[in-house]
Every structure is written in C-alpha cells, then in structure tokens.
Structure 1
Amino acid sequence: MKEPKPWVKPVLELGPVLIFFLVFILKRGETTVIAGQEYSAFILATLVFIPALALATLIQWRLTGKLAPMQIATLVLVIVFGGLSVWLNDPRFFKMKPTMIYLLFAAILGYSLLARKNWLQAVLSEALPMDALGWRKLTLRMALLFLALAVANEVVWRTMSETTWVYFKTFGLPLILFVFLMGNAGLYRAHAIQTDADEGNPDNGRK
C-alpha cells in the first residue's frame, strides 16, 4: 500500500480538533436550535467534532491500512462521552473525556511495565529505535505524564471557564506533549540502537 504524503497524517490528526475550536469560537455566546432543542456553542462544536474525527480516522485507515490501538480507543471514548454530552445537552461529559483517555493510556502503560511487555516499543520502534531499558524508562515517564495530564484536565475544566478549557484542550495539551517528547531527546540518544539502514549507510558516523 502506497504511503501517504508526510503532511497528510498531521492534517488528519489536528483537523478535527481545529474544527472543534473554530466552531466554538465562531458560535461562542450564541445558541443554535436543532430539532427544537437549543444547544450552546460548546455542544454544537462537540456535535461537529464527533463525525469529523470519525471521518479523519476512517481516511487514515483507508490510506495506511492500519490504526494504532490508542487511535481506536480515542475514537470510542469521543463517541461515548461526546455522544452523552450532545444527547443530554451537558458539556461536562465531553470535558471529562480527556481525563478518561489519559487515565486509560496511563493504565495500559503501567500494566505493560508490570507485565514486562514493551507495548510502546511495539508501536514506535520503527520511528524510534532504542534498547529495552530505554523503552522501559520512556514508558514509565509517559505513564506519569498521562496521569499528570488527567489531573490537569480535571483542574482546568472544574475550576476555570469553558473558553479557557477549550484553549487548554486545543493548544495546551498538544504543546505539553510536544515539550515532553523533545525533553526526552537525551534518553533517545543514550539508548539508541543502530538500525540496518544505519549500518548500510557509508556516511554513518562521519559527521
């Protein structure tokens, strides 16, 4: 199967989130009536986000022929919690969704450590070749990160304004994840292993 262009995956992953953000910002302070029911900007944005994420996930699956388990889990939780928010016209369920996702990820990674199974390595080893110790360290750090993000999400949506939570969800959480990944550059270098491509590269080690 032909690999999609490099920009396709980021667009499919970030597109639904940006659509949610734009709908919320454009409709903020207004109510929309659908089938005789009034919906706030947040609920309307949630209603648009659910099919947008489902479509983006379907397109990615069609293009690559595979989906990561975390992508599937995220889609299921979005449908469940987002659907409850729309059905009950209550934004709290969708705001709790990131907490549930991060707790699930933390639990999966924590169990993989206890069971001595490098599930993170199985998912990311092609992009990030490291030895077993490196993967265990990264797994522990990511499990702790997801726990911290779950707590942070609960604090923000329960104590701050709806607009603040939307900005936090759209920009804050991805930025934290990016900083975390960049902050572990030393771990990647310390536990890197040489791949077949590196061994066959005559220029390897000359720079």
Structure 2
Amino acid sequence: MDKTKPHPLFKLATELGPLLIFFFVNSKANLFAATGAFMVAVVIAMVASYMVTRHVPMMAIVTAVVVIVFGTLTLILHDETFIKMKPTIVYTLFAAALGGGLLFNRSFIAIMFDQMFNLTHHGWRILTMRWALWFLAMAVLNEIIWRTQSTDFWVAFKVFGMVPLTMLFAITQMPLIKRYHLDPASLETSEAEAGDVSKG
C-alpha cells in the first residue's frame, strides 16, 4: 500500500496532541479524567494518521495498545498506578525488541522509525544499540519519577520532560546517521539494509 508523507506539522500534532490533551485535562480535572481523554485522543490520532497517510507507524500502534489496556485498567480499578506505569511498559517493550533483535543479528530500529533513512549495516547496529539503551534508561527514569514525585509533577514531566529529552537524544544521533548514511537505494536493498545487520 502506498504511503503519503505527512506534513511535519500534522505529524507533530498527531504525536504531541494526545499528550497535551492529557496534561490539560489533568490540570483542569484529575488523572482519571485525563486518562479517559488521553485514550480517546490516541485513537483519534491513529485514525487521522491512517486517513491522511494510509499508514500508522509501528511505534504509534504499540503505544496506543498499551495506552488503551493500561488506561482501561486505571479507570475500571480506579488506580493511578496503571497509567503511570504505561511509559515504563512501552519503553521496556521497545528496548527489549531492539536488544532482542540484535541478539539475532536483526535491527528493528528502521521499522520502529518508519524507515526514515538508509544506513550501512554497522550504522544500523550502533543506532539500534543506542536507542535500546535510551529506552531502557527512560523506563527506569519513569519509575523513579512516578514513585517519588506527585501526580501533577509526573504528568508535567511526561509531557514536557520525556518528549524534549527524547527529541534531544534523537538530535545527538545525527552525526552517527550522517556518518553511516547511504544514498537512496531500491526498496529491496533498503529493506535488506534496515532489517539485516549480520554483515556488520
């Protein structure tokens, strides 16, 4: 199926919109109302993304599933713990997928980031390792924050802390990406380079 490249502002809105809604509703009501709004916003963002691009990134799908499952548990059991653990679960899943893939000489980072660029086999391996460690660190950080700080602080950090930190980390990877970047290749070659790092 053909994919339409979305406008950067549209992509930003679908990724950050649900988080901003989560923060706003929590500030006006409580975490449970914010959780419900967050779940609805995530689903709407996914539908909008598919309608515009005919495609939903794998990271968005995994995140949405975890949001819905843990959000539902939060509302049904009226327990904040589940939604607060959601980032930990998501980051741990990503870290496990990337790290586990490397054990079998496979790199799933291109799939997670929707094949945004082409790298050499060695480049994919290094980038995958770095992101796996980053996701693991973010999982640990989320556990520390929600277990030691107030709910309002955790919500604010989730929106205005985790997102900027992740964007900053992504920016710091640009030298690596430029170093191991390959010129555009055919679809078959691109997919092979993204998925098989055994030659690195």
TM range (shorter): 0.7 to 0.9
CA distance in 1, matches of 2:147, 2:39: 23
CA contact (8 A) 2:59 2:113 kept: no
Q: TM-score, normalised by structure 2?
A: 0.86
- Secondary structure class of the residue paired with 1:129: coil
More helix by share: 2
CA contact (8 A) 2:58 2:114 kept: no
1:150 aligns with 2:152: no
% identical equivalent positions: 39
Closer, same or farther: CA 4–190 of 1 in aligned 2, 3 Å? closer
CA distance in 2, matches of 1:126, 1:93: 32
Amino acid at match of 2:64: L
Find the counterpart in structure 2 of residue 81 from structure 1. 70
Find the counterpart in structure 1 of residue 110 from structure 2. 121
Q: How many residues align?
A: 184
Higher RCO by CA contacts (8 Å cutoff, separation 6 or greater): 2
Find the counterpart in structure 1 of residue 13 from structure 2. 11
Provide structure 2 residue ranges, at least 5 long, that are not aligned to the other structure.
Answer: 186-200
Amino acid at match of 2:28: L
Closer, same or farther: CA 122–175 of 1 in aligned 2, 3 Å? same
Deviation at 1:135, TM superposition (A): 0.8
Q: Which deviates the most, 96-105 or 4-13?
A: 4-13
Find the counterpart in structure 2 of residue 135 from structure 1. 124
CA distance in 2, matches of 1:21, 1:125: 27
Find the counterpart in structure 1 of residue 188 from structure 2. none
Q: Which has the larger radius of gyration?
A: 1
Find the counterpart in structure 2 of residue 172 from structure 1. 161
CA contact (8 A) 2:58 2:111 kept: no
CA contact (8 A) 2:59 2:112 kept: no
Closer, same or farther: CA 167–140 of 1 in aligned 2, 3 Å? same
CA distance in 2, matches of 1:23, 1:159: 22
CA distance in 2, matches of 1:193, 1:114: 24
Deviation at 1:123, TM superposition (A): 4.9
Deviation at 1:194, TM superposition (A): 2.1
1:66 aligns with 2:55: yes
CA distance in 2, matches of 1:5, 1:149: 28
CA contact (8 A) 2:15 2:45 kept: yes
Find the counterpart in structure 2 of residue 203 from structure 1. none
- Secondary structure class of the residue paired with 1:148: helix
Provide structure 1 residue ranges, at least 5 long, that are not aligned to the other structure.
Answer: 28-40, 197-207
CA distance in 1, matches of 2:112, 2:66: 20
Q: TM-score, normalised by structure 1?
A: 0.83
Closer, same or farther: CA 124–17 of 1 in aligned 2, 3 Å? closer
Q: 1:44 aligns with which of 13, 20, 33?
A: 33
